[in-house]
Structure 1
Amino acid sequence: MPRSRQTIAPRPIAVRELAYPGNPSKARAIGLSSLKTQTPIFINSLLWGVGPRPKSQGCRSGGGCCLASGEGAGAGLPALDLAKAQREHGVLGGKLRQRLGLQLLELPPEESLPLGPLLGDTAVIQGDTALITRPWSPARRPEVDGVRKALQDLGLRIVEMGDENATLDGTDVLFTGREFFVGLSKWTNHRGAEIVADTFRDFAVSTVPVSGSSHLRGLCGMGGPRTVVAGSSEAAQKAVRAMAALTDHPYASLTLPDDAASDCLFLRPGLPGATPFLLHRGGGDLPNSQEALQKLSDVTLVPVSCSELEKAGAGLSSLCLVLSTRPHC
C-alpha cells in the first residue's frame, strides 16, 4: 500500500530532482561585480564578522555571555574567549575561500547585534530566491537587515515573512537537494513552515517535530547527495525517523556519536565529476564523530573547529550562508 505524502503546503507540490548546487550556471558574488571564472559554477558564501557584544545582550541559548570575552556567562554558560572565536571564524572563512574555492563576502561585526555571526538563521535560500526569516527572538530580528541588503545587491528575489504570528530560524530548515524539511521547534512554528512551503512551491515541504532547545540542523544534516547524517540522541533519531516516514526519496543514513557533528555543510564543486566536499567539525572537536565520518567515501572531508563559537549557540551551518545564482544581467 503506497505511503501518503504529508506536506504542509495548501496545494499539491511537485517533487523534482535538483542538481543543486551543481547547476552549470555562472554566478555573481554577493554585493560585488560579476566575476569571470573558467569553472561552470562557483558557490558564493556570506559570513558575518565576530566582535564583542554589548554587556546587556544575552545569547541564543537563553542568556549569558555570547560574543564577548572574559565576562562571567551566567545561566551556566562559560565565558567566550573572543580571540579564539575570531580565530575559528577566520579559519572557517579561509577554508571556504581557499580549500573550497568559494567567493566570500564578510559582513562587518555590529556591537548591537551580538549574534549576527549566526546568520544561517536569517535566510533560507534556494536558487534565485531568498526567504528572509523572522527569528523567534525579537532581539535577533534586526540581524536580517544587513543580510537582506547583501542578497538584494546580488539580485536575488527577496521574499519577506509578513505574518507577525510566524517565527522561523533558518537552521530549522534542511534542504536535501530534493525537498525541504522544516523543524517545528522552540524557534520555528507551523506558520513559519507554511511560508517556506509557499515560497518554494517546486519542492515538497514537510514538518518534523524537534524537542528541547535544538534546531533541526543541530540534530541532522546532509552528509552527501543521498545521505543523511544524524546524532545518536533520542531527539536526533526521532527526527530522522519522522523524515524517513515522510519522504518519497531513498536516503542512506549514518549515525554519529555527537548531535553537533551532524551540523555540517555538503557542497558540490563547480567542475563536472569532481568529488563533493563535506565541511564538518574537526580540529580536535568531537573526535569520535570525526572517526565515524570517515565512512563517507564519496565526499572530500574538510574539517573545521568551532568549539568556542559553539558556546554562543553556533552550529557550523549557522555561521555562513551558501548560495548559487544565475546573473541577472
Structure 2
Amino acid sequence: MFRNAIVRTPSRNMGQGITEAGLGCPDMDLTLAQHKTYIEHFEQAGISVTVLEPVEEYPDSVFVEDTAVMIPFEGGTAAFLTCPGAEPRRGEIEIISTAISSQVDEIIRMEGDGLMEGGDVLLMGKTFYVGIDTRTNRSGYEQFSKAVTRFGFKAVPVPFKFGMPHLKTELSALDEDTLIMSGRFAAREEFAQFRKLTVPDGEEYSANCLYLGPKLLAPAGFPATAELLDKNGFKPDYIDMSEFRKMDGGLTCLSLRW
C-alpha cells in the first residue's frame, strides 16, 4: 500500500507541546524507544523510511502528519502543505517543505485564511474524508478539495464538534473497506458504505490504528478493542504508544506515508 514514509525524531522538549490529555509529561527515553519500534514496523513492511532530525524549536514536530497531506497519482506524488489550526505549529510548514521537496513531484501550498492539519484527513480509496473542526476550517477544506480533484480524487467534508484534536483521533482504516471508530462517528452518513467496527466506551484512543497494507498497527493496552479486532479477523501488531498519547498523539500522527 505504501512504499515510502517520513518520520521525525522526537525533540527532547516534546513535553512542552500541545496536549489536553492530562496524562503527565512523557518519559523521553521511553518515547525514543517507542519511536524506534514504530520505525521498525514500517521497515518490516518493506516501507522505505526517511528519519528527520528533531526540531527543538517545535515540540510537536514529531507529529509530522499534520504538516502535509501526500497525494499519490499515476507516475508521482504531490504534497499539499497545510496551515495548522494550532498557531504555535505553523512554523513547522517551511521546515517540512524543505525536507520533502526532493521526494515529491509537486508541492501545493495552503493560501489565505485556510487552515488544515493532516490528522483531519483520511484517505479511503479515491476519496479524502476531511474533518472540519477547530484545527481545519471550511476554507482549508475547499482549497484541499480543489487540489485533489486535479489528481482524480474527491474530498468529503466531515464537520464535528466533539472537542477532540482531529478526525483520525477516533476514526481510522483497518483495511481498504473497514473503518474502526468511536461511537461518536458510528452513525455518520459519510461512512455508510464501509464496514465499521465501533470501539467500546473508554477505549476511544484505540480507534487510531494504522493500516500499512502488509501490516496493521494498533495501540497496545486496550483489551476490549483487541478482542473486537480478533473476533472480526484482524491480527494487528500492537505497539505501546503511552508516551505519545500523553501529547494527544497516535499511530497515524507520527508519519507521512505514500
With normalisation by structure 2, the TM-score equals: 0.90
* 1:81 and 2:27 are equivalent in the alignment: yes
Structure 2 Cα separation of the partners of residues 172 and 155 of structure 1 = 21
- Whichever residue aligns with residue 225 of structure 2, its letter is S
CA RMSD of aligned residues (A): 1.9
Deviations 1:221-273 (A, max 9, x none): 111111111123xx333xx513136xxxx3111111222212112122xxxxx
Of the three residues 83, 108, 116, the one matched with 1:134 is 83
Structure 2 Cα separation of the partners of residues 76 and 320 of structure 1 = 24
Pairwise mapping of residues 156-167 of structure 1 onto structure 2 (< 5 A)? Answer: 156-163=105-112, 165-167=113-115
Alignment match, 1:69: none
Structure 2 Cα separation of the partners of residues 172 and 242 of structure 1 = 17
Alignment match, 1:107: 52
Q: Is the 8 A contact 1:208 1:243 kept in 2?
A: yes
* 1:317 and 2:224 are equivalent in the alignment: no
Pairwise mapping of residues 22-101 of structure 1 onto structure 2 (< 5 A)? Answer: 43-53=3-13, 58-61=16-19, 76-97=22-43, 99-101=44-46
Alignment match, 2:226: 290
- Whichever residue aligns with residue 34 of structure 2, its letter is E
Q: Is the 8 A contact 1:59 1:313 kept in 2?
A: no
Shift of 1:138: 2.0
- Whichever residue aligns with residue 117 of structure 1, its letter is V
Q: Is the 8 A contact 1:220 1:259 kept in 2?
A: no
Structure 1 Cα separation of the partners of residues 232 and 9 of structure 2 = 31
- Whichever residue aligns with residue 139 of structure 1, its letter is P
5+ residue gaps, structure 1, are: 1-20, 22-41, 63-74, 269-275, 324-329
Q: Is the 8 A contact 2:22 2:246 kept in 1?
A: no
Of the three residues 275, 297, 301, the one matched with 2:236 is 301
5+ residue gaps, structure 2, are: none
Structure 2 Cα separation of the partners of residues 230 and 79 of structure 1 = 27
- Whichever residue aligns with residue 189 of structure 2, its letter is A
Shift of 1:314: 0.7
Structure 2 Cα separation of the partners of residues 236 and 309 of structure 1 = 23
Distance 1:171 1:210, change over 3 A: same
Of the three residues 219, 223, 234, the one matched with 1:281 is 219
Structure 2 Cα separation of the partners of residues 58 and 122 of structure 1 = 18
Shift of 1:77: 4.6
Alignment match, 1:263: 208
Q: Is the 8 A contact 2:9 2:51 kept in 1?
A: yes
Percent sequence identity is: 27
* 1:209 and 2:156 are equivalent in the alignment: no
Of the three residues 70, 79, 92, the one matched with 1:125 is 70
Shift of 1:76: 4.4
With normalisation by structure 1, the TM-score equals: 0.71
Compare the two structures and name the one with the higher strand fraction: 2
Distance 1:306 1:76, change over 3 A: closer
Structure 2 Cα separation of the partners of residues 186 and 162 of structure 1 = 18
Deviations 1:55-89 (A, max 9, x none): xx842225xxxxxxxxxxxx945122111111111
Pairwise mapping of residues 142-153 of structure 1 onto structure 2 (< 5 A)? Answer: 142-153=91-102
Compare the two structures and name the one with the higher helix fraction: 2
Structure of greater Rg: 1
Structure 2 Cα separation of the partners of residues 145 and 206 of structure 1 = 27
SS in 2 for 1:90: helix
Structure 2 Cα separation of the partners of residues 137 and 169 of structure 1 = 9
- Whichever residue aligns with residue 189 of structure 1, its letter is N
Q: Is the 8 A contact 1:236 1:259 kept in 2?
A: no
